[in-house]
Amino acid sequence: MSSIIPATSLTAQTIAEKVQSGEWTALETLENYLTQIAKSDAEIHAFNTVLEDEARAAARAIDERVALGEDVGPLAGVPVAVKDNLCTKGMRTTASSKILENWNPPYDATVVKRLADAGATLIGKTNMDEFAMGSSTENSAFGPTRNPHDLTCVPGGSSGGSAAAVAAGFSPVAIGSDTGGSIRQPASLCGVVGVKPTYGGVSRYGLLAFASSLDQVGPFANTVRDAAIVHEVIGGYDPKDSTSISEPFPSFLDAIEDGVEGLKIGIISELMGDIDGISSEVIQKTREAATLLSKNGALVEEVSIPASLYCLSAYYLIAPAEASSNLSRYDGVRYGLRVDGETLAEMNINTRTEGFGDEVKRRIMLGTYALSAGYFDAYYGKALKVRRLLAQNFDEVYSKYDALLSPTSPCTAFKLGEKTSDPMTMYVNDVCTIPSNLVGHPAISVPFGSGSDGMPIGVQILAPPMQEALMYRVASTLESAEK
């Protein structure tokens, strides 16, 4: 099997220290990554756009500031790859859709701005499933991304380009968005760390909306600590996002090495065999992770989240319902593609029919249907009640436990084309990650060994809202025990 995995990878923490101290320059650091991209991205296709010139200019500016003795920030000279659904001012932002193929946003997403303010260099925009709808990055209008561990396999999705970019050594860290697992599942399949923050913890300003009550932006990294460093940079209150949490979060880094001694950790029993389609190998790995945590002093027990049995159905009613509303803005009037028609309605129809791919059309129609008169109560209404039950289940479990453990993805990376003919088969990939999105809680996927096919397996740690510090602590323990 053909793979493109670097022998060693630098951490963002190391890069920032060396650049800030003047030992390395931001420019030479960037050039090393650009060389990797030039060498191998034709095979992997992690990027829709590589921002060579813009990144070089940013790197030079950072080196000048270091020379002047300025403190550049926690990501001094660290290249960052950003998913192509986050707005970058004057730089193409496509969501991997034909409808936005040539769109240059007039503003930066808050996350993009905060990365730049922290000294990061934006190295490129990464490939994704169109409008973040998918679990394999095969729904990109510009062709799929391949898994760096095996080029015949998918990287997962929808943030597959960001996950692949970190795994292939194209960028030390990356940014994705997670609506039902779109950061954690590709992180698991590519053998990197991926985090979905607490809903409201990271600004959605400038994130192209898919399902607004579920979407959250988060980091990919090679280490848990790097993920926490990037998360601290992009997180925090933003007045431009009306759902942004104004209370400060406890530091993600201060307690990261405090271990798990005395913590109570629950394993979600429904995701350990009750729900069909989760491979025994993945379940076995998750049990090994549980054993490791108890060896490190945690109390680990099975717990029940009964409503998780209904999450997949609830999610695939709620997310399409919100998407059908959010994507009505792509009408050929103000920006993006326009395909002409005699009347306004014809122009709208021509534009959307030509501009959207099949999966986006399916979800728009499913959502429109779930919200339509006569079906609203049976589908959307019921799904929202399942969501309430789920939140109650989590509240009850968190009254006795500090954090939870489960698989991230039900399987290791699958072959390109293996699951594209049947949408429901593809949707099942999200079964372990969806619950956190429905309730808005944080969760992380940490690499934890590999399967019999040699492909990476990740385990997931879930924590109560705003308890990322605890989540990173448990993840860091697993990471160091695994190494």
Partner 1 sequence: MSLMTEPISEKEVAHVAYLARLRLSDEELQLFTKQLGAVLEHAKDVEALQLDGVEPMSHPLPLENVTREDEVDEMLDRKEVLNQAPAVEDGRFQVPQILGEQP
Residues 118, 266: Cα–Cα separation, whole Å: 36
User: Segment near partner 1 (CB under 8 A), from 98-106, 180-188, 287-295, 448-456?
Assistant: 98-106
Q: Which of 135, 140, 177, 182 is catalytic?
A: 182
Q: Does 317 bind partner 1 (CB under 8 A)?
A: yes
Q: How far is CA 325 from CA 172, 231, 318, 321, 403, in A?
A: 36, 29, 11, 7, 34
Determine if 335 is a binding residue for partner 1 (CB under 8 A): yes
Q: Within 10 Å of residue 194's Cβ, how many Cβ atoms?
A: 36
Q: Which of the residues 459 through 478 are near partner 1 (CB under 8 A)?
A: 465
CB of 34 to partner 1, least distance (A): 28
Q: How far apart are CA 370 and CA 356, in angstroms?
A: 20
Q: Which of 60, 92, 98, 382 binds partner 1 (CB under 8 A)?
A: 382
Burial of 20: CB neighbours in 10 Å, binned 0-12, 13-18, 19+: buried
Of the ranges 29-37, 156-164, 329-337, 470-478, which one interacts with partner 1 (CB under 8 A)? 329-337
The DSSP line for 186-202 is HHHHHTSEEEEPPTTSB
* Residue 29 or 48 having the CB closest to partner 1: 48
Two tokens, residue 119? 């000294």
Residues 344-363 that bind partner 1 (CB under 8 A): 344-350, 352-353, 356, 361-362
Cα three-residue angle 456-79-87, rounded to 5 degrees: 95
Residue 167 structure tokens: 């795994």
CB nearer to partner 1: give 6 or 465: 465
Q: Give the dihedral sign, CA 282/284/290/293.
A: negative
- Which residue in the set 118, 174, 202, 364 belongs to the binding site for partner 1 (CB under 8 A)? 364
Task: Verify binding: residue 427, partner 1, rule CB under 8 A.
Answer: yes
Closer Cβ to partner 1, 3 or 350, answer by number:
350
Vertex 38 angle, CA 33 and 41, to 5°? 95
With contacts defined by CB under 8 A, name the span among 32-40, 224-232, 252-260, 434-442 that binds partner 1.
434-442
User: What residues between 281 and 310 interact with partner 1 by CB under 8 A?
Assistant: 309-310
Measured between alpha carbons, how far is 458 from 47 in angstroms, rounded to an integer? 23
In the bound state with partner 1, the residue whose beta carbon lies nearer, of 261 and 422, is 422
Looking at beta carbons only, is 128 or 428 nearer to partner 1? 428
Told to judge if 182 belongs to the known catalytic residues of this protein, a careful annotator would answer: yes
Q: Which of residues 100-119 bind partner 1 (CB under 8 A)?
A: 103-107
Q: In the range 160-219, which residues lie near partner 1 by CB under 8 A? A: 199-200, 213
Q: In whole angstroms, how large is the CA radius of gyration of the chain?
A: 21
Catalytic residue, from 158, 171, 188, 308: name it.
158
Three-state DSSP class for 473?
helix
Based on the residue annotation, tell me whether 158 is a catalytic residue of this protein: yes
Half-sphere exposure of 182 (CA within 13 A, CB side): 31
Binding residue count for partner 1, defined by CB under 8 A: 72
What CA–CA distance (Å, rounded) separates 374 from 235? 41
237 lies in the binding site for partner 1 (CB under 8 A): no
Assess contact for 190 and 156: CB atoms under 8 A: yes
Q: How far apart are the first and last CA of the chain?
A: 24
Contact status: 372 vs partner 1 (CB under 8 A): yes
- Say whether residue 369 binds partner 1 (CB under 8 A): yes
Q: Give residues 385-404 in contact with partner 1 (rule: CB under 8 A).
A: 385-389, 391
Per-position x/- string for 54-83, each x denoting binding to partner 1 as judged by CB under 8 A, each - no binding = ------------------------------
Should residue 135 be labelled a site residue for partner 1 when binding is judged by CB under 8 A? no
- Asked if residue 470 lies in contact with residue 201, where contact means CB atoms within 8 angstroms, the answer is no
Token code pair at residue 250 = 């406890």
How far apart are the C-alpha atoms of 462 and 195, rounded to whole Å?
10
How far does CA 351 lie from the centroid of its chain? Answer: 29
Interface with partner 1, residue 133, by CB under 8 A:
no
What is the rounded distance in angstroms from the CA atom of residue 403 to the CA atom of residue 443?
10
Question: Binding partner 1 by CB under 8 A: which of 40, 243, 296, 480?
Answer: 243
Q: Of these, 316, 398, 414, 472, which contacts partner 1 (CB under 8 A)? A: 316
Separation between Cα atoms, residue 394 and residue 404, nearest integer Å: 10
Structure tokens at 93: 């932002």
Judged by CB under 8 A, does residue 368 bind partner 1? yes
Pick 3 or 368: Cβ nearer partner 1: 368
Peptide bond into 159 cis (omega under 30): no
| 246 is annotated as an active-site residue | no
Residue 384 binding partner 1, by CB under 8 A: yes
CB of residue 433 vs partner 1: minimum separation in angstroms? 15
Given 239, 277, 297, 417, the residue binding partner 1 (CB under 8 A): 239
**Three-state DSSP state, 79:** strand
Binding to partner 1 by residue 332, rule CB under 8 A?
Answer: yes
Residue 442 touching partner 1 (CB under 8 A): no
Residue 432 Cβ, how far from partner 1 at the closest point, in Å? 17
Catalytic residues: 83, 158, 182
